[in-house]
Amino acid sequence: MTTVDLNCDMGESYGIWTLGADEDLLKIVSSANLACGFHAGDPSTLRSVTHSAVSHGVAVGAQVSFPDLAGFGRRPMQIDPGELRDLVLYQIAALDGFMRVLGSRVSYVKPHGALYHVTVSDPAAAAAVVAAAAEFDSTLAILGFPDSQLLRAAQAAGLRPVTEAFADRTYLADGQLQPRSAPGSVLTDSSQILERTLRLVETGEILAIDGSVIYQRAESICVHSDTPDAARIARVLRDGLEAAGISLTSFTSGSPIG
């Protein structure tokens, strides 16, 4: 049976400020990338989101970030790799504490925002993130962009690299995402998102904006959580995948697609 993972950013509230429909999304997705307090996610948010994730059988990943609450981790920072490794270890360990008291564990690491983008192309930053994950728990998977320095570093360190594709983003012919700033680069039509996702899961094909076809094996599909409509779109996606005989399973527990 074909399976795929749906991953989604969560735990991004902070104090009085709420963000994202975590409770709704946890009923739908199979993996939750949880903020660890550096770009969002105060300890009480971590407590409640980890509790819900575990209740719903959703795998939990540490969504590690640059230390930048005001910029939501979206502003690139130049941080010495040694310090970056320490920052990442701190975040993984803190989140893991909330999982541990629930009898569970963090099962993967995915960089957030600017750190995600930096670790696509910067080998030193990628190695720093992976080193922190590897030293904390060598069974952690690393979730990232295909062909990224991050996934190469994971491979080199003996951690399992897991590739993701974006259900609701347009792609360039070279396999890169079209920048968010480009009009139409974020898809909002749920049937179009479902159609693209089905094609990707079943054939490995993504239609690029120039009409060419990219081949990509993604074990996980990322859905955004920060649009008003996120939970509805995720539900359409899950229902459509299941109707096509594809079941959702966390990549940490199931077999990869293919």
Catalog residues that contact a copy of itself under the rule CB under 8 A.
13-19, 37, 40, 42-44, 46-47, 67-72, 75-79, 82-83, 86-87, 89-98, 100-101, 114, 135-136
Identify which of residues 69 and 207 has a Cβ nearer to a copy of itself in the complex: 69
> What gap in Å lies between CA 163 and CA 93, rounded to an integer?
23
DSSP 8-state secondary structure symbol assigned to residue 70: T
**Which two tokens mark 89?**
């270890």
Provide the minimum distance between the beta carbon of 226 and a copy of itself in the complex, in angstroms, as a whole number: 8
Identify which of residues 30 and 91 has a Cβ nearer to a copy of itself in the complex: 91
Provide the minimum distance between the beta carbon of 48 and a copy of itself in the complex, in angstroms, as a whole number: 9
Provide the minimum distance between the beta carbon of 109 and a copy of itself in the complex, in angstroms, as a whole number: 13
Identify which of residues 132 and 151 has a Cβ nearer to a copy of itself in the complex: 132
Identify which of residues 39 and 160 has a Cβ nearer to a copy of itself in the complex: 39
Identify which of residues 7 and 13 has a Cβ nearer to a copy of itself in the complex: 13
Provide the minimum distance between the beta carbon of 102 and a copy of itself in the complex, in angstroms, as a whole number: 9
> What gap in Å lies between CA 33 and CA 91, rounded to an integer?
12
Identify which of residues 78 and 184 has a Cβ nearer to a copy of itself in the complex: 78
> What gap in Å lies between CA 132 and CA 82, rounded to an integer?
10
Helices of type H across 137-248: 149-157, 190-203, 230-243
Provide the minimum distance between the beta carbon of 93 and a copy of itself in the complex, in angstroms, as a whole number: 2
> What gap in Å lies between CA 109 and CA 133, rounded to an integer?
7
**CA-to-CA dists, residue 7 to 23, 30, 121, 141, 201, angstroms:** 14, 6, 22, 13, 14
Provide the minimum distance between the beta carbon of 232 and a copy of itself in the complex, in angstroms, as a whole number: 20
Provide the minimum distance between the beta carbon of 133 and a copy of itself in the complex, in angstroms, as a whole number: 11
Q: Who's near 148: CB < 8 A, 6+ residues apart? A: 119, 120, 121, 126
Under a CB-based contact definition with an 8 Å cutoff, are residues 91 and 131 in contact?
A: no
> What gap in Å lies between CA 205 and CA 171, rounded to an integer?
11
Identify which of residues 137 and 205 has a Cβ nearer to a copy of itself in the complex: 137
Cα-only R_g, the chain = 17
